[in-house]
């Protein structure tokens, strides 16, 4: 909480402005008081955002949706004026402690208390989902323990389920330790993602630590995607069963929020007030409430900075201190450092580590979200007339992978074989692309899970080798035979990439190994959370800067600031970096000079394949933009998954409507040049991975660990002919 600054309003919509509670990318939050003495948190949207009329329209829809949430355990929306200049909204001000602060200060909560809390939070989520919203950042910092009981706050990431966009600027779509696997992979987050987060929250409240916490954001997200939850501290049998059900990998297998109430059973007592909490925690909550500036109760300055706003569009955890915004704009916080952004990462894709430059990670996309002319894209003839429905790909084979868990971690094709990998304590299985028969398989090794990738003519298995030792195992793709092994005692391989005869390994520093022999070529002092490889160079991201290193000897070419970068790619003679300040920057690979940059807004994943385009997928919308300028190309709505394979863009969703689809999602192959549909396949429940192999075949990762081989209409048959339409 801070004093008002010059230029801050003294009255908003009839509410007297008392103090600043915080500021972030979307707006400034003030502590306000109504004429009757009601305390509210008032958020005022930044003027620069409402220049776009679409932003105001979306804000209006979100306010209408937020009004529908009326549960006993959610912070109510008190008032709003989406048509004001600038727009604003007000929610109830809730002094107290966030669950994050409560556990951090007073320790883990007793199981009986957590069961009571679980029922209240499940009821809150049921109300949010019943109103057609998804929270998408459900975490301990967004759960307030107040004198009136627990309350779910921060709807900054809540959105209508059927909305394709969201008014947010600088908001993160999820917090790494509490994200669902689908969020960690850059996919769509529906109500099951909130349920997954609830499971993590309950484990945190019981054990005092997040179940997937690995000490850094990359390893934490990898643990989430592998399903490596640490539930040792959740001793209560009923609570553990509820948490385990919430943390199921596949969204469709998680219980609905309302169903959790039956699993938890009848609450033993009411959570109204603070008597249900441990005594020391209850006393602190009551004390903070007493210090709040209620009518006749003293000045607003008597409220501690640790007290919270119930701000449904807040960018911060519920501390009431807010994030510092950019300087130089009226109504923004000034004189404070910009915050370190909790960057979201997903695992490296096969093409990225293979040197093709493809990498998928959550970004914030600033590109036009308007649909293409005429709505959803459908193929057209050269004359512009609407074409016939696209041809269907043919099924060749379908097999269930050996190491699958509840779903595959990834799918690769290299060296004439198809690789399916994943599963808890699993491994990799090589399949014959013609028949789906197993060629060979290999487990991760002793002691836990691992990673798999391909590149530079080899397959790489990364994983534990006994206590305290990690190794990189280079394998022949066709036979699975070992080529060489590189091990590091107590080492953790943050990243592995291979290109141009070198394999790069990041532990405490960077080591470049000969891809054929495994002999060390050079090593450097910097570490890397990810690599991007280019012709004659490698880019290493150490979390503070990106460094371009010469492939021949490791000499540094240039560095560029990139605090908590969320993506680093190399393609088309450029290096693309998204940094913590929500900028997507294109740098010249030769010298690091800035070629172009964009301020980012919407959540997205990004891919590059060296074809002159960048491909971005915000929530259910796919964009192609020009790599050399950042200018928008074409876009499609209705996309839930996107991947590059075999020179085509493959998306899963409802990107075309015709009599053959019936509005059901399908797999579509798109022409990268203009987004026209090349072919489609409707015989899968969902597709979450794609790879391209010999003879033009495309391989799709399906639910429950299945791999489907498809022959596109123009693919060559084994006898040299073609199948399907031209």
If DSSP codes are grouped into helix, strand and coil, which group holds residue 34?
coil
Report the DSSP beta bridge partners of residue 428. 421, 442
**Within a domain: residue 699?**
yes
The answer on 516 and 443 residing in a single domain is yes
19 and 142 assigned to the same domain:
yes
- Is residue 224 situated within a structural domain? yes
Domain assignment present for 326: no
The pLDDT score that the predictor gives to residue 430 is 95
For residues 436 and 562, state if they share a domain: yes
Whether pTM exceeds 0.85: no
Note whether 359 and 285 are same-domain residues: no
- 357 lies in the same domain as 230: no
The residue whose two tokens read 């979390």 is: 543
Residues 291 and 153 both lie in one domain: yes
Q: Is residue 340 part of a domain?
A: no
| 362 neighbors 173 (Cβ within 8 angstroms) | yes
In 3D space, the residue among 670, 675, 616 whose CA is nearest the CA of residue 645 turns out to be 670
Q: Is-contact 583 592, C-beta < 8 A?
A: no
Residue 338 lies in a domain: no
Q: Are residues 397 and 291 in the same domain?
A: no
Within 10 Å of residue 446's Cβ, how many Cβ atoms?
A: 12
C-alpha separations of 674 from 377, 378, 443, 626 in Å:
10, 11, 42, 12
Q: Given 302, 332, 361, which residue is the final one in a domain?
A: 302
Q: Does any domain span residue 725?
A: no
For the chain, residues with pLDDT lower than 70 are: 1, 24-26, 48-55, 154-174, 186-187, 293-389, 404-407, 423-425, 445-449, 464-469, 489-495, 508, 525, 564, 566, 579-582, 600-605, 618-620, 656-663, 715-726
Number of neighbouring beta carbons within 10 Å of residue 126: 20
Enter the tokens of residue 393.
């790909």
318, 529, 549, 561 from 564: Cα distances, Å:
22, 10, 19, 10
CA 680 – CA 251 distance, rounded (Å): 25
pLDDT at 588: 95
Whether residue 392 is found in the same domain as residue 295: no
What's the rounded Cα separation, in Å, for the pair 320 and 293? 14
The token duo for 322 is 């807010």
Three-state DSSP at 454 gives: strand
Full domain range(s) for residue 210: 11-302
Number of domain units in the chain: 2
CATH classification at residue 165:
1.10.510.10
- pLDDT digits 0-9 by tens, 240-284: 989 999 999 888 889 999 889 888 888 888 898 899 999 999 999
Question: How many CB atoms are located within 10 Å of the residue 685 CB?
Answer: 10
Find tokens 């393609």 and name the residue: 571
The answer to whether residue 723 sits within a structural domain is: no
Using an 8 Å Cβ cutoff, are 9 and 44 in contact? yes
For residue 644, give the CATH number of its domain: 2.130.10.10
Q: Sheet holding 469-475: strands in order across?
A: 451-455, 458-464, 469-475, 482-489
368 and 298 assigned to the same domain: no
Residues 377 and 230 in one domain: no
Same domain, 281 and 365: no
Of 302, 332, 363, the last residue of a domain is 302
H/E run at residue 373: none
| Residue 58 in tokens | 């979306």
Assess if residue 419 is contained within a domain.
Answer: yes
- Same structural domain, 509 and 373: yes
């Amino acid at each position: 909480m801070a004093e008002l600054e010059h230029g801050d309003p003294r009255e908003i919509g009839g509410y007297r402005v008392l103090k600043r509670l915080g500021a972030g990318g979307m707006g400034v939050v003030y502590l306000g008081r109504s004429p009757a003495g009601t305390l509210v948190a008032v958020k005022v949207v930044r003027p620069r955002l409402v220049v776009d009329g679409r932003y105001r329209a979306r804000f209006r829809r979100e306010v209408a949706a937020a009004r529908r949430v009326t549960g006993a355990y959610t912070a109510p929306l008190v008032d709003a004026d989406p048509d004001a200049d600038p727009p604003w909204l007000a929610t109830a001000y809730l002094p107290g402690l966030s669950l994050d602060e409560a556990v951090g200060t007073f320790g883990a909560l007793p199981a009986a208390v957590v069961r009571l809390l679980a029922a209240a939070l499940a009821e809150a989520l049921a109300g949010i989902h019943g109103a057609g919203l998804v929270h998408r950042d459900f975490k301990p910092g967004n759960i307030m323990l107040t004198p009136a009981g627990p309350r779910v706050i921060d709807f900054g990431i809540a959105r209508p389920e059927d909305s394709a966009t969201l008014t947010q600027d600088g908001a993160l779509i999820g917090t790494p330790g509490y994200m669902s696997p689908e969020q960690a992979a850059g996919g769509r987050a529906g109500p099951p993602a909130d349920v997954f987060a609830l499971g993590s929250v309950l484990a945190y409240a019981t054990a005092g630590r997040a179940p997937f916490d690995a000490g850094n954001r990359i390893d934490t997200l990898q643990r989430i995607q592998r399903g490596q939850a640490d539930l040792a501290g959740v001793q209560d049998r009923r609570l553990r069963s509820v948490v385990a059900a919430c943390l199921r990998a596949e969204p469709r297998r998680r219980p609905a929020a309302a169903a959790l109430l039956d699993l938890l059973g009848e609450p033993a007592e009411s959570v109204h007030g603070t008597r249900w909490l441990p005594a020391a925690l209850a006393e602190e909550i009551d004390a903070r409430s007493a210090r709040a500036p209620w009518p006749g109760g003293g000045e607003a300055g008597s409220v501690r900075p640790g007290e919270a706003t119930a701000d449904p569009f807040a960018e911060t955890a519920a501390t009431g201190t807010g994030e510092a915004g950019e300087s130089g704009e009226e109504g923004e916080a000034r004189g404070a450092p910009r915050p370190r952004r909790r960057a979201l990462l997903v695992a490296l894709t096969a093409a990225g580590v293979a040197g093709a430059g493809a990498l998928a990670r959550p970004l914030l996309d600033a590109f036009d979200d308007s649909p293409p002319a005429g709505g959803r894209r459908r193929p057209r003839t050269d004359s512009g007339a609407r074409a016939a429905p696209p041809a269907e790909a043919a099924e060749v084979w379908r097999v269930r992978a050996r190491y699958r868990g509840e779903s595959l971690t990834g799918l690769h094709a290299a060296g004439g074989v198809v690789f399916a990998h994943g599963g808890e304590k699993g491994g990799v299985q090589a399949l014959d692309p013609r028949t789906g028969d197993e060629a060979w398989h290999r487990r991760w090794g002793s002691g836990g899970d691992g990673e798999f990738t391909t590149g530079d003519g080899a397959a790489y298995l990364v994983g534990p080798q006994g206590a305290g030792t990690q190794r990189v195992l280079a394998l022949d793709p066709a036979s699975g035979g070992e080529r060489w092994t590189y091990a590091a005692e107590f080492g953790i391989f943050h990243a592995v990439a291979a290109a141009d005869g070198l394999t790069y390994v990041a532990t405490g520093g960077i080591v470049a190994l000969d891809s054929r022999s495994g002999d060390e070529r050079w090593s450097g002092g910097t570490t890397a959370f990810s690599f991007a490889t280019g012709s004659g160079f490698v880019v290493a991201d150490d979390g503070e800067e990106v460094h371009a290193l010469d492939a021949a000897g490791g000499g540094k070419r240039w560095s560029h600031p990139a605090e908590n970068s969320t993506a680093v790619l190399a393609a088309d003679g450029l290096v693309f970096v998204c940094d913590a300040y929500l900028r997507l920057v294109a740098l010249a690979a030769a010298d690091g000079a800035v070629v172009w940059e964009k301020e980012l807004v919407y959540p997205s994943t990004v891919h590059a394949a060296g074809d002159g385009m960048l491909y971005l997928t915000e929530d259910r919308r796919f964009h192609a933009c020009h790599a050399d300028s950042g200018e928008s190309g074409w876009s499609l709505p209705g996309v839930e998954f996107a991947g590059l394979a075999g020179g085509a863009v493959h998306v899963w969703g409802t990107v075309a409507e015709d009599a053959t689809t019936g509005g059901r999602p399908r797999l579509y192959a798109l022409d990268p040049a203009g987004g026209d549909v090349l072919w489609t396949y409707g015989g899968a429940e969902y597709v979450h991975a794609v790879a391209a192999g010999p003879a033009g075949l495309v391989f799709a990762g399906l639910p429950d660990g299945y791999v489907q081989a498809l022959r596109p209409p123009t693919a060559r048959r084994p006898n040299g002919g073609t199948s399907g339409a031209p």
